[in-house]
Amino acid sequence: MKTYTAALVTLLLITSWAKAGNVESYLQLIKAANDSEGKKGTNYPRLVVDIAHQTMSDTMMFMNAMAERKGASIFCLPKNYILSGATVGDVIMSEIKAAQKEGNKEVLSNSVELYAVVGMAKSFPCNNKP
């Protein structure tokens, strides 16, 4: 749990400039990005989402490497797997939907990074790593 806490704090600090803030703002940005798809001159929301996801992806890889040095990886990607911003976005949405389905009333006010870290640990567990 200590590793998750440190990872979350690191991710929050490093990605604070690119994040949408809380889940409610993030979902609004995702909706705006999806609504603007294919419309001329309205790529800004999609660009912001893509940059935020890629920033989180890069930061999580760095954060996980630091945790791995201490023998406590947060997630373990398959060999030769390259983590993309799109994958991080999918993991985040999956975790948000799962929390909403469970009836978590605090979902919308929680940090997006919380769902990124927890989702990566669930999606790419280290239990099979030697």
Q: What is the mean pLDDT of the chain?
A: 81
Lowest mean pLDDT among 57-61, 73-77, 111-115: 111-115
| Alpha-carbon gap, residue 61 to 63, rounded angstroms | 5
The arithmetic mean of pLDDT across residues 35-61, rounded, is 81
Cβ-contact 76, 124 below 8 angstroms: yes
